[in-house]
Structure 1
């Protein structure tokens, strides 16, 4: 045979070749085993990696077919294992779309990314059950080639809720801060305003931009304000408590305020600035002034029973509280449904002079007496006056455009009316009306007492006059007249006859 004719040398060479072939085959088998092992290790590492992440991971190929996903993805999207095992992308898509508030927007985004395979993406998904996911997506590359897309889903419901709660809390705090019943501002170590609330801005009439950066003493009328502020910032003067100051508004007007200071310090105790609360005490000051003036009115009118002195004394004090061009007091004549004009100070009005009288019908005074209630009337034109109080047109024609009338009630009886008149349009407010009612309540008793005293004096004078006339007749009688005590027979009185 042919093989049998081979020489020993040839056999050795063939054996050597076979051995080398076997060795190469063994080496190739080993490399294949190593490659498979490496592949298994890589797959194991990939699986461990995507399973260990807190995000839900889904990988699809260029056609959108499912390649791999982790358990977190199934849990987040609440996909049953049986459904996931089918790896049917259409079935999975139908399932997730039913969970979303905006399924059409979800699909639109997916289509957009599939048409732009190189694009990265981030958006937020809202679920019907209130959950919120962040969605990340980027292409999967194999070398320079894009072979699929990786989707990452993260449940951020708690953080979103916390963020919304924080945002709402900040909004509430800002509203409470800005709309607080007191003004609030802070200024730095140089005295420049760094923070201010809306109440403070409303008090002063500035915008926030105008206030920030302004020196705090610029809004303070007191000349020593700058020195005091700098002394506090230097630690030479303690912060103030319940300090009364006068502030200047943007329009140049002044108003009283009550200030509370607090130092702002750093961690080492160094003064960085001062924060202040500011309360507008205009109302308090007004009430104090009103109370003081009313007390003075009470003292003045209580010191005399002369009706004219009562009028003169309180009229001067009333002007401090309520401005007027005419002040009048009418006393009731209920027997003939008229009022007498007992006192007038200020402008004259035809037919409404002191000492005169007029009927109540068709007048503002008549309504006040009838209702026993104060009345504020700011007519805009003569037609409005005529329509409501036909007999009152002369007052309006005399230039009186704002009017207050208050019933004077003593011992539960309306004895008269206190009237304020002003030539200014809309000069009076409800506040003026309430104050006028307080004045009326205070002076009604004094006027009633003074009027009673005047009536008694008139009666006394009338009695004396009557007695004088009787005595004159007695003395001038044509016959003798005598008054005799019947018990004793003694003469008590005899005339000249």
Structure 2
């Protein structure tokens, strides 16, 4: 009688705990007899009330297993826990509907040396999704062709992806813990100060085209976007920078601009650039009342050279003529090739 009273008192305490906890809980003895459970456990597993009237854990287990992606694993592990009566066990199961439950079980001794097992279940679906999302983000960051750099408010680098290693030449082990100023030319330091002032005020800098230093102080043209990094409380604790290498684009633009204004063969200003310079020269002559000279030059019998010796020899001749003409004028003067063997 005394042992029964003590057991009932212990169960009453357990039932109070079951109602207050945020986990789904079930308590059973060594034979699988269900002693108590909370409503959250019932809701997690959608257990019908008629099944609970049997108060046998084994019957409930079969119903629960049917909801899982791997029911046999669930049944086998539970049977092993009961068979060996292991003091403590932990595992995770995935439902067919996508939910993920964490199961933790532990033995407990009640009054009168009665051994029971507490089965605890926690829904970690959101945590699992968050971890999956975090892993996906990490994979995206690491596989990005752009440099993604994280730094604190003091400008100390704390994050460095593979794209940053490819663009700037530093391995993560070489650069993490170093100041961001290692990547910034001295004449751009004030630019970085302005950026960090914006970051500290919660503002973003978008697509700023600038120059940064790679390893061995190699200049690299980049387009950078810098955004604040906030902690869970919403406080700004640093910044992350996405740097896109635009060196090739810059070089292409310079090449296009060069080809638009200079003769590809001789390197002299072409007709378009000559026309622009001629316009400016005429305006200046008119404004300041001075004279200018214009000289048109053609190469005699140049067609004969091309026809008899080939265009390769003709091109070499044009280059020599261009060099000699440039060597005879002042730096402020213009020598231009209009086309063929025509020079101005």
TM-score, length-scaled by structure 1: 0.43
Partners of 2:20 and 2:238 in 1: CA distance: 51
Equivalent of residue 287 in structure 1, options 240, 248, 252: 252
Contact map agreement 1:217 1:225 (CA 8 A) in 2: no
Q: Which segments of 5 or more consecutive residues in structure 1 lack a partner in the other structure? A: 1-31, 312-328, 332-338, 348-353, 355-442, 454-497
TM-superposed CA distance for 1:74, in Å, is: 4.1
Equivalent of residue 210 in structure 1, options 174, 185, 200: 174
| Aligned-residue RMSD, C-alpha | 5.2
- Cα deviation code 1:131-186 (max 9, x no counterpart): 332222222324573533232334x1xx42x2244334434544555566654545
Change (3 A) 1:146 1:196: same
Partners of 1:76 and 1:70 in 2: CA distance: 10
- Cα deviation code 1:236-290 (max 9, x no counterpart): xxxx99574462435x654444667789999xxxx98776554534224323432
TM-superposed CA distance for 1:127, in Å, is: 2.4
Partners of 1:106 and 1:182 in 2: CA distance: 45
Partners of 1:273 and 1:77 in 2: CA distance: 44
Change (3 A) 1:56 1:274: closer
TM-superposed CA distance for 1:102, in Å, is: 2.4
Q: Quote the residue 2:93 is aligned against.
A: 125
Which is bigger in relative contact order (C-alpha 8 A, separation at least 6)?
2
Secondary structure of the corresponding residue to residue 195 of structure 1: strand
Contact map agreement 1:136 1:153 (CA 8 A) in 2: yes
- Cα deviation code 1:364-385 (max 9, x no counterpart): xxxxxxxxxxxxxxxxxxxxxx
Contact map agreement 1:61 1:149 (CA 8 A) in 2: yes
Change (3 A) 1:173 1:330: farther
- Cα deviation code 1:37-85 (max 9, x no counterpart): 9987776665565456554443333233344445544443333333332
2:262 is the counterpart of 1:296: yes
Q: How does 1:75-474 map to 2 (within 5 A)?
A: 75-117=43-85, 119-143=87-111, 145-154=113-122, 156=123, 159-160=124-125, 162-174=126-138, 177=141, 183-185=147-149, 192-220=156-184, 222=185, 244-245=210-211, 247-250=213-216, 253-257=218-222, 278-294=243-259, 295-297=261-263, 300=269, 302=271, 306=298, 341-344=310-313, 446-447=339-340
Contact map agreement 1:189 1:233 (CA 8 A) in 2: no
- Cα deviation code 1:401-455 (max 9, x no counterpart): xxxxxxxxxxxxxxxxxxxxxxxxxxxxxxxxxxxxxxxxxx9x944xx6xx9xx
Question: For this pair of structures, how many residues does the alignment match?
Answer: 284
Secondary structure of the corresponding residue to residue 149 of structure 1: strand
Contact map agreement 1:257 1:279 (CA 8 A) in 2: yes
| 201-210 or 103-112: bigger deviation | 103-112
Partners of 1:147 and 1:272 in 2: CA distance: 51
Larger Rg: 1
Partners of 2:142 and 2:313 in 1: CA distance: 49
TM-score, length-scaled by structure 2: 0.58
Contact map agreement 1:243 1:260 (CA 8 A) in 2: no
Q: Which segments of 5 or more consecutive residues in structure 2 lack a partner in the other structure? A: 198-204, 275-295, 318-336
Change (3 A) 1:212 1:345: farther
Q: Quote the residue 1:395 is aligned against.
A: none
Q: Quote the residue 2:332 is aligned against.
A: none
Secondary structure of the corresponding residue to residue 312 of structure 2: strand
Q: Quote the residue 1:419 is aligned against.
A: none
Contact map agreement 2:27 2:37 (CA 8 A) in 1: yes
